[in-house]
Structure 1
Amino acid sequence: MSDPPRFRSVLGQTGNKLGSKPPGMKLEKKKKKTNESKDEKTKKPDTPASPTTTLKQCSSILRRNSASMTASYSSDASSSCESLPLSVASSSSCKRPVRRSGSVSSASGTLRRKQVDEKEDKVAAGGGGAASNGDCFVDGRKRCAWITPKSDPSYVAFHDEEWGVPVQDDKKLFELLCLSGALSELPWTDILSRRQLLREVFMDFDPVAVSELNEKKLTSAVSLLSEVKIRSILDNSRHVRKIIAEHGSFKKYMWNFVNNKPTQSQFRYGRQVPVKTSKAEFISKDLVRRGFRSVSPTVVYSFMQAAGLTNDHLIGCFRYQNCCCVDAETATTKAKKKNGE
């Protein structure tokens, strides 16, 4: 009979360790642990940097980088501003420099803006814009910003003597309407240089006489104006003749749009002067309805400026008050005529 099987105890004396394992395994693990402990003892552990020291190092590096970036940035900005001409455009571009990689300190930005503002104030106080405001004329009188000492003498004379003065004559009104219509092709200087020849060709701009002209008689005017403008002058003269028959005069028709009183604008700068207004658009529509040509709102407003229906001289120009006085004298003469009648 065979012997009963022998069972080995699973739990040892400690109660939770394996009762029997190959002794070799335990020895190898112990050796490994002892070796690792020896290596840790021999090696000196790296002491981790404290958070305060790390922050100090990062902040010092950032300060050095920002200082170098600020120095290079300010030098580039100053060199670019100095190379540009001293004008509003250049100063505004220097006020808003392009940002590069990195940060620019707010103190340096405000300092730069203050320097630019001081330069602009010095230029304004020192008369840097004298040429644009007409301060450099020999007579010492200020004119509108678009009139400079380098302007053509005929253009300056037109500004000083005619532009903005209320016109009450039918021939003169028709002439200014025709000249304003030519502005789409020629500047005022060229138109004024040909003005006398145009007067000879178009019978001193008498609308009745011009309406009776034939196109063959206007061959000499081809060298002065384009064919389109010549035909528009002929057609407009016929329509002016109809307006005279309807309203009694071309003057009454035009001045009724502004209630027989010029519009007194009060512009300080040339950029404020418009190229057209709602009133000019209204007049243009009525003229087009009547068959007029080359009478866009821009052309009509140029005519209103030249004929004195609106006083667009800048308030700093010496002609502004003169045109206002002409308007006042016209009103007084009209009142005297009414009282006399």
Structure 2
Amino acid sequence: MSAPQRVDSADRELRSVLCPAGNKLQRKPVKKHLSDDTKGVAFTATQCSILRRNGVSMNASYSSEASSSCESSPLSIASSSSGKRALRRNGSNSSSSLRRNQAEERDEKSGDCFSDGRRRCAWITPKSDECYIAFHDEEWGVPVHDDKKLFELLSLSGALAELSWKDILSKRQLFREVFMDFDPIAISELTNKKITSPEIATTSLLSDQKLRSILENANQVRKIIVEFGSFDKYIWNFVNQKPTQSQFRYQRQVPVKTSKAELISKDLVRRGFRSVSPTVIYSFMQSAGLTNDHLTSCFRHHHCITKEEACN
């Protein structure tokens, strides 16, 4: 499943730190020489002021000539090579790079405040519902090879067009009762009249169109089982029976769809499936473990890899 796309506050707040064109105020730059661990890198007073305004801390000693704006905050080139590269650019680019790096560091450390001390993906917070946290910790990204469970996750991913994951997970047991544990063969034997009955519609909170798509998809899954032996074999063939192991550090790097999702979506549509857009399919791939999109800082990233190795 894909978390909602976040607009990086660093990108929204970018602004030039260079003086406006035509500014006649000129000051003679005073070079500040740093300690041995930062040898070869010198800053002007203007650069020091820019760094301080952007909250950059650089542990390095200054000579007595340092300006007051820099003396109150000892500098150190902690953020290493990326900081040095940024400083070689002009002031505007330096500011942009520093803000972006700070935002990325906050993103990567977003799970530090959980009571159990574990880091989690950025879309999970300590304030998330327990069922949502449990879904992330126990299911999301774990490879699934059971036809009923695969069909359940495909159907729930399709329901995201009308409901949130929070609503879906809170009513999950009701969904299982209404749709007979998501047994595609049992559902395919229902009629449109039964699947769209007021009782089912009221209980599931889904529209008639979405209910009919679940019925139609069950019919198509039944055909796939006859052709391939199982829905599991069919769907896992698209990834050569091995989940894709992503290496995303930040939530903004996680896509909402991929070329593989588009390929699967196209084949499903060709077979008569409904509500299987590339975005829906990629959410299904994430939840069913066809791709491991846990951030590398999340404790579940490695767990999902080891679980797949255990299955093999």
Question: Is the TM value for this pair above 0.5?
Answer: yes
Tell me whether 237-246 or 223-232 shows the greater mean CA deviation.
Answer: 223-232
Matched, 1:221 2:200: yes
Q: Secondary structure at the match of 1:240?
A: helix
2:180 to 188, 196, 203: 203
For 1:248 and 1:278, how far apart are their aligned partners in 2?
Answer: 26
Q: Who is 1:114 aligned against?
A: 51
1:148 to 125, 135, 138: 125
For 2:226 and 2:234, how far apart are their aligned partners in 1?
Answer: 11
Q: Structure 1 residues 249 and 119 mapped into 2: Cα distance closer, same or farther (>3 Å)?
A: same
Tell me whether 195-204 or 218-227 shows the greater mean CA deviation.
Answer: 218-227
Q: Who is 2:297 aligned against?
A: 316
Q: Structure 1 residues 208 and 328 mapped into 2: Cα distance closer, same or farther (>3 Å)?
A: same
Q: Who is 1:88 aligned against?
A: 10
For 1:144 and 1:239, how far apart are their aligned partners in 2?
Answer: 34
Q: Who is 2:75 aligned against?
A: none
**TM, length-normalised to structure 2:** 0.71
Q: Who is 2:111 aligned against?
A: 134
Q: How many residues align?
A: 243
Q: Structure 1 residues 241 and 89 mapped into 2: Cα distance closer, same or farther (>3 Å)?
A: same
Unaligned runs of 5+ in 2: 1-8, 30-44, 58-77, 80-98
CA drift at 1:116: 3.4
CA drift at 1:92: 3.4
Alignment of 1:38-187 (within 5 A): 88-89=10-11, 92-93=14-15, 96=17, 99=20, 102-103=23-24, 105=26, 110-119=47-56, 129=106, 133-187=110-164
Give the conservation status (yes or no) of the 8 Å contact 2:108–2:250.
Answer: no
Q: Who is 2:257 aligned against?
A: 276
Give the conservation status (yes or no) of the 8 Å contact 2:107–2:251.
Answer: no
Matched, 1:212 2:189: yes
Matched, 1:300 2:222: no
For 1:213 and 1:312, how far apart are their aligned partners in 2?
Answer: 35
Q: Structure 1 residues 111 and 184 mapped into 2: Cα distance closer, same or farther (>3 Å)?
A: same
CA drift at 1:102: 3.9
CA drift at 1:161: 0.4
For 1:149 and 1:98, how far apart are their aligned partners in 2?
Answer: 43
Give the conservation status (yes or no) of the 8 Å contact 1:132–1:146.
Answer: no
CA drift at 1:187: 1.7
Relative contact order, CA 8 A, sep 6+: which one is greater?
2
Q: Structure 1 residues 209 and 129 mapped into 2: Cα distance closer, same or farther (>3 Å)?
A: same
Superposed CA RMSD in Å reads: 2.7
Sequence identity percentage: 61
More helix by share: 1
CA drift at 1:202: 0.5
Alignment of 1:8-47 (within 5 A): none
Tell me whether 292-301 or 107-116 shows the greater mean CA deviation.
Answer: 107-116
Q: Who is 2:85 aligned against?
A: none
Give the conservation status (yes or no) of the 8 Å contact 1:154–1:192.
Answer: yes
Look up the equivalent residue of 1:140 and give its one-letter code: G
After superposition, the C-alpha distances for 1:123-168 in whole angstroms (9 at most, x for unaligned) are 999x983896211111010001111111121111100000000001
After superposition, the C-alpha distances for 1:88-116 in whole angstroms (9 at most, x for unaligned) are 357634x5479487456586753442113
- Mark the structure with the bigger radius of gyration: 1
For 1:173 and 1:167, how far apart are their aligned partners in 2?
Answer: 7
For 1:314 and 1:252, how far apart are their aligned partners in 2?
Answer: 27
Give the conservation status (yes or no) of the 8 Å contact 2:111–2:122.
Answer: yes
CA drift at 1:291: 0.4
Q: Structure 1 residues 214 and 92 mapped into 2: Cα distance closer, same or farther (>3 Å)?
A: same
Greater than 6 Å deviation, 4+ residue runs: 120-125
For 2:49 and 2:302, how far apart are their aligned partners in 1?
Answer: 41
Matched, 1:258 2:244: no
Q: Structure 1 residues 104 and 221 mapped into 2: Cα distance closer, same or farther (>3 Å)?
A: farther
Q: Secondary structure at the match of 1:118?
A: coil
Unaligned runs of 5+ in 1: 1-86, 332-341
For 1:251 and 1:177, how far apart are their aligned partners in 2?
Answer: 12
Look up the equivalent residue of 1:142 and give its one-letter code: R
1:232 to 193, 200, 213: 213
